[in-house]
Amino acid sequence: MLASSVSFDILVLLAFVSFLLKCKLLLQDIATKIMSFSQQGPRAVCILSANGAVSTVTLRQPSTSGGTVTYEGRFEILCLSGSYLLTNDGGSHNRSGGLSVSLASPDGRVIGGGVGGVLIAASPVQVIVGSFLWGGGSKTKNKKVEGPEGARDSDHQTVENPVTPTSVQPSQNLTPTSSMGVWPGSRPVDMRNAHVDIDLMRG
């Protein structure tokens, strides 16, 4: 148990809020709605989960630089994830991030990847989005949680007292005392009249 010190960001722990976005109308672009929600304030957002179906999705192809592929049909959302972080570039505020999606077609095929364009809803879609304050490299206050005194003293071995196999006292006998494999302090068992009754039906 190593409980020396744990530091955490108080802002992230205390300022995390979840929201529920709903695309009630068909043919709404889910990606655009999430992006517009992320631009409402100075908070970063991350997608926690989503359910529903989409009719059109444009995915990025990692094999070709800047290439995309568009699928049309009806696809159930298996997983929707991603985040949008607020970055400061010379005084201007920009959003960085993106979305990834995994979809299932009616015949059982699974497609997915990074969203490189539209993500059109084919049914009412619900997206759970978390919003939090993100430092982005700025200085934040860290709180250190120190473990008990006993944990610090016993958990951190110094070089002066290393634990090695040779530190075992030579008076300890770790080998059987006879050829029968009897350990020190154990009592011998008379096996001449031993009757072993094993009932597998009894719990």
Instruction: State how far the Cα of 119 lies from the Cα of 54, in Å rounded to an integer.
Output: 7
Strands 110-121 and 92-104, by their bridges, are: antiparallel
The percent of residues above 70 in pLDDT, for the chain, comes to 49
Residue type, 163: V
pTM check: above 0.75: no
Please state, in angstroms and rounded to a whole number, the distance separating the CA atoms of residues 71 and 54.
Answer: 10
Long-range CB contacts (< 8 A, 24+ apart) of 194-203? none
Give, in words, the CATH class of 5-135. alpha beta
* Rounded distance between C-alpha atoms, residue 56 and residue 72, angstroms: 5
> pLDDT value at position 164?
46
Q: Residue 85 has which token pair?
A: 């972080």
Q: What are phi and psi of 154, to 5 degrees?
A: -85, -25
pLDDT less than 70: residues of the chain: 1-25, 64-65, 91-93, 135-203
Q: Where are the domains of the chain?
A: 5-135
Helix, strand or coil for residue 32?
helix
Q: What is the pLDDT of residue 58?
A: 95
